[in-house]
Structure 1
């Protein structure tokens, strides 16, 4: 896979001019992303118009969105007792609720509406970041547009329209990866800190920065203070929050204990393996579907390697995929946890670009409609994503 020199104007121009030019170039990706997500929202609104649940409630006032809103309003300290289980709000990282609180303070928005504003704005930022990364590694602007459309139209894409952290995390990850690949080391370190304050999987962004930094130091064969600073900064967000939880609970393993109480302890994938085997025995159709998805994901990962994607992208993708499969339980969330692994979609983007344009456009339209229908069905009938 070839690498374009840059996806933004040269640094010699003014910052405002660079930003304006970059936004103009990325506009098709932002528009197609917004169109796909708007399609899903329209399907949801139509489907819920005569139902007992409003679209707003489903998107902003259920499941994890409630926990984030409670943290934004009251800070940490809430614990739910469900039989023998104890669920503590310390399981949720702080950046998203902090943004909710800040936005609802300065604008006439409720906390749930502020959460939607954060998620929807971050979705556009993520689409822009995906476009920038795709153009950088392929040299084709169309690849960035198609990648943004595909990411918006993945089956769990409806979560991108919810008051959840996936869009914020993916935006931070995409731009951190772009910063690594273009040598903007201070930016890469700062974005890795932010990603580490957003989700546990922020470690994947940290690892990508460390891998990119190690490659750069090897290439230069000398210490570069910018690279070393980025590598030192990158883990501070994740370590800072995990350390905070440890201090608050007076235990060095406090955060991991909280996750285990939620049923999300790390078991190396044993729980997921048991889940798949159980499904194959009790519901063969569902089990075979899971195996098919895993096979497709593995094939895409192999194709990413064959395309010679840059090492930071491969490290990030592999760790996101691994982190989604190594926890103990609640497997309905696995598609959502895999969604930030956007480099897996680059081979699909290349395949669509090789099709005649009408066929490629029809495939994207079908994906958008299918994603919208699936998301509406899931929100109305299934357990939390």
Structure 2
């Protein structure tokens, strides 16, 4: 994180000859979603190339690490994406949270209630046209990821010296160690496809679009509520005109989907917090003080009480937590309070469990990290090369770890 410290956005850094193509409109002008320009198309080409590279890694992994060591064929190639959380999303999309069919009911509690309904709902809709569930999930993430990277590049242009540098932030995201989760049937890509356009709309003071997109994000992950808090902080800091101030009730819209979901859970179980209790059962997400969580994770990582594969993952959790804390400090120093609020809430939620879990994955959703790293490397080619040389191998190793079924030991 020393790579990004001290590089707060400078308004004068954008040369007059290279104005950002996504510059906010003049006050009072209603912003409309612009069509794809040349910079957006370059970003999408980069996105597709990295998807092809990741597909090659998945193909090689299927052949190198088949389920049966004596197998002569790798089986279904898409099976390498059918790991862990995907099975929860599949069961929700196919059977619902509380299936009436006895054959679809789990023999014991499978904690599917821990997951929000947004991704399973989209998955079920896509399945109407794509019969294979896994392919449908991959397609959701592919399209959602394309939306997310275009939005990320447009946000990055507002902070970087040259408009084309938006691709740098996108590449850092797509080459990050946990980038595999953006490509498989998980929630990260879909969440970013709502959250990043919501933030872009807020930067343009289009509060209606920002609130609606944030509401969609809250159907996908609880992190959507952290985004809603950041939008509220941004509104308080930027709303000046009377027309803006009258739109403050829109900020309550993102809370509606979670409330409806909690109401549904209450109607079926008598417990509106059934999702939270499922997380506590399945992933030890009961509350502990931050120092207790750090101590427990440290012992798991370096106490030699767990197999090395597990210990290495907990080491990654600790590194991701430190990265997040440094990111919050950087954002506070740069007076980017809304983004600091968003990342800090994420860290609080993840850093107050029994031990850290999924912090590196959550880092994919910290868009200020990728923009800050992009800014730090713009005029430092050696630093840029160093970041890529460290990140890309880790990304490949962790992708192989996921595709081969070795992520959790």
Q: Note if 1:194 corresponds to 2:216.
A: yes
Q: Which residue pairs with 1:305 in the alignment? A: 332
Bigger shift: 128-137 or 138-147? Answer: 138-147
Give me the whole-angstrom Cα distance separating, in 1, the residues matched to 2:332 and 2:20.
21
- The equivalences for 1:328-339 within 5 A come to 328-329=354-355, 331-339=356-364
- Residue by residue over 1:308-366, the C-alpha shift from the partner in whole angstroms, topping out at 9 and shown as x without a partner, is 43x3222222222332322335x45331133211212222111221123x873685376
Q: Note if 1:258 corresponds to 2:278.
A: yes
State the aligned residue count. Answer: 372
Unpaired segments ≥5 residues, structure 2? 1-8, 12-18, 68-75, 100-104
TM-score by length of 2: 0.80
Q: Note if 1:118 corresponds to 2:143.
A: no
Give me the whole-angstrom Cα distance separating, in 1, the residues matched to 2:211 and 2:30.
24
Unpaired segments ≥5 residues, structure 1? none
Q: Which residue pairs with 1:375 in the alignment? A: 399
Bigger shift: 289-298 or 34-43? Answer: 289-298
1:293 is displaced (CA, Å) by: 4.5
1:290 is displaced (CA, Å) by: 5.4
CA distance 1:9–1:265, change in 2 (3 Å): same
CA distance 1:109–1:312, change in 2 (3 Å): farther
Q: Which residue pairs with 1:149 in the alignment? A: 171
- Residue by residue over 1:85-133, the C-alpha shift from the partner in whole angstroms, topping out at 9 and shown as x without a partner, is x33322111111111111111x243222111100111111111111111
Aligned-CA RMSD value: 3.1
Give me the whole-angstrom Cα distance separating, in 2, the residues matched to 1:223 and 1:183.
8
Q: Which residue pairs with 1:324 in the alignment? A: 350
Q: Note if 1:212 corresponds to 2:231.
A: no
Is residue 37–residue 158 contact of structure 1 (8 Å, CA) maintained in 2?
A: no
Match of 2:200 among 178, 182, 186: 178
Give me the whole-angstrom Cα distance separating, in 1, the residues matched to 2:107 and 2:353.
21
- Residue by residue over 1:250-279, the C-alpha shift from the partner in whole angstroms, topping out at 9 and shown as x without a partner, is 124333222222233333443443121343
Is residue 192–residue 235 contact of structure 1 (8 Å, CA) maintained in 2?
A: no
Give me the whole-angstrom Cα distance separating, in 2, the residues matched to 1:195 and 1:123.
14
1:155 is displaced (CA, Å) by: 0.8
Q: Note if 1:71 corresponds to 2:92.
A: yes
1:229 is displaced (CA, Å) by: 3.2
Is residue 62–residue 80 contact of structure 2 (8 Å, CA) maintained in 1?
A: no
Q: Which residue pairs with 1:19 in the alignment? A: 35
Q: Which residue pairs with 2:156 in the alignment? A: 134
CA distance 1:384–1:198, change in 2 (3 Å): farther
Is residue 126–residue 171 contact of structure 1 (8 Å, CA) maintained in 2?
A: yes
Q: Which residue pairs with 1:349 in the alignment? A: 374
Match of 1:47 among 22, 42, 61: 61
Give me the whole-angstrom Cα distance separating, in 2, the residues matched to 1:354 and 1:235.
41
CA distance 1:9–1:28, change in 2 (3 Å): farther
User: Any idea what SS the aligned residue of 2:110 has?
Assistant: strand
Is residue 45–residue 55 contact of structure 1 (8 Å, CA) maintained in 2?
A: yes
CA distance 1:184–1:280, change in 2 (3 Å): same
